[in-house]
Structure 1
């Protein structure tokens, strides 16, 4: 597990996100009290000091009760801020409602199923994410409709710009297209993937890029285009996530 990259992602995501008690579609600034409470989690050194002991304790407890000892473990770390309204019942503040200033910091452990093998089916549907660089739980809620409406035989939904046909990424994966080369012109096949400022770079994507660099496979940070696929310019394509490279 590339723990360093996951810690970087937590910190970078929190720096990009704004926590308010307003609707996600409402432009609002983050209250100073919230910013102060989240400050330790926007500092990489502090997050590492908090995450590592929590994971050690959590994994130890998990393996004590885990009945699937042969499977790898999926670990999810969540940092959130609660705006839960509480009622104070005291002589001084009878019935007064106030916002409970509390950061939620937790880890969840579950079995990680073996990745799928072979070909997968995808469909192109849905617009790109609003804040691509942040691994935001709001995106999990936003993508539910796409997950519920996709065909039962479809493994992943690719997000695209309907005006240009540019493909960004999957709901939970990065996307790559292999563009055909031209041996006669001395042009080799090239891997195309969306520019990083428009997508969330997964840890498996980094492994793919490492292999491309090692084997001298050219990589272009350009959007794969659906029209290019229809015109036969693609030699193939694949998605990558912690669950698969297909």
Structure 2
């Protein structure tokens, strides 16, 4: 078996977990028979130190998504993640007739949700009981949850698994430094795990003080981060306008979706237009920020591009307002798993 895992049925998982390892940081659950009904489902479960990246790279390229818990029992923007997987599966396996047929249940949101929820429930229970050392503390951590859905041409069958690890809290006043690379991303609207492979070189190049790498084209138009969305704020007639590359160029992240909702709710102007690096140089931005599942909304302190450095002395009030609102909004509509 891929992970050298313990084979369990759903019924067996109700018993205490006997396979706790010392110094473990992650749990992986894989359904061995993804097309089986809930009563007949069988799982592999393993604890260890497998990172998200290594987890993704252990499988053939396929659809994936990264989620987070709130209150340790619910998933933020769960429907967004379910739609992301099904949309990606629809596009990734459409050219292979065998794969297209076998992967059919993973293209339907209702069918996929019916498969995903029971597996996430078992995985989250096992993670909290066997891995998470904060479970019985006064301030337990939230969990980062990643799902991969792909196809094995060797087995002519789907592969369906999830990875659970600790989601570290971020100080409410934290700002970050980012780097810029002139790179592009193919099919950004598809959450393809091949991107995890492609971005590895960019991740390895960045220094430890750099939180994110932004992608930019030859016209110095900024797209998104390698694992985040990127937004900038300019002032037009004394009114803040939030800018982001349009959705035909980027993937709509779950936290970006929340930002859109907040802008509409609070009558903040939003434009689907490329933020341009030259405008940052010319002081036309009051600030910029990134959004992602694990980091929520983080204002940017410094942008680096080659030997150039653009600094924002303080976080703009509009960005701090959005940050505080995002932190509250993630609880609204979260999907209860446990």
TM-score when normalising by structure 1: 0.84
Secondary structure of the structure 2 residue equivalent to 1:197: coil
Of Structure 1 and Structure 2, the greater strand share is in 2
Match of 2:144 among 74, 81, 94: 74
1:39 aligned residue: 104
1-structure distance, mates of 2:192, 2:257: 20
Is 1:165 the counterpart of 2:220 in the alignment? yes
Q: How far 1:16 moved relative to its partner?
A: 2.0
Within-5 A mapping of 1:61-210: 61-65=126-130, 66-69=132-135, 70-83=140-153, 99-115=154-170, 117-162=173-218, 164-183=219-238, 188-210=239-261
Q: CA RMSD in A?
A: 1.4
Q: Deviations over 1:166-199 (max 9, x none)?
A: 100001110110012233xxxx121000101111
Cα deviation digits, residues 93-132 of structure 1 (max 9, x gap): xxxxxx3212100111111111354220011104221010
Q: Is 1:58 aligned to residue 123 of structure 2?
A: yes
Contact 1:126 1:146 in 2 (8 A): no
TM-score, structure 2 normalization: 0.62
Q: Supply the distance in 2 between the matched residues of 1:114 and 1:63 (Cα, whole angstroms).
A: 17
Contact 1:125–1:158 (8 Å) recurs in 2 = yes
1:141 is paired with a residue whose SS is helix
Q: Secondary structure at the match of 2:236?
A: coil
Q: Which residue of structure 1 aligns with residue 57 of structure 2?
A: none
Residue 142 of structure 1 deviates from its aligned partner by 0.1
Aligned position for 1:218:
269
3-state SS in 2 of match to 1:136: coil
Q: Could you say which residue in structure 2 is the equivalent of 1:7? A: 82
Query: Once the 2 structures are TM-superposed, how far is the Cα of residue 31 of structure 1 from its aligned partner?
Result: 2.5
Conserved? CA contact 2:144–2:294, under 8 Å? no
Task: Report the Cα distance in structure 2 between the residues aligned to 1:49 and 1:63, rounded to whole angstroms.
Answer: 22
Q: Which runs of 5+ in 1 are unaligned?
A: 19-28, 84-98
Asked whether the 8 Å contact 1:68–1:111 carries over to 2, the reply is no
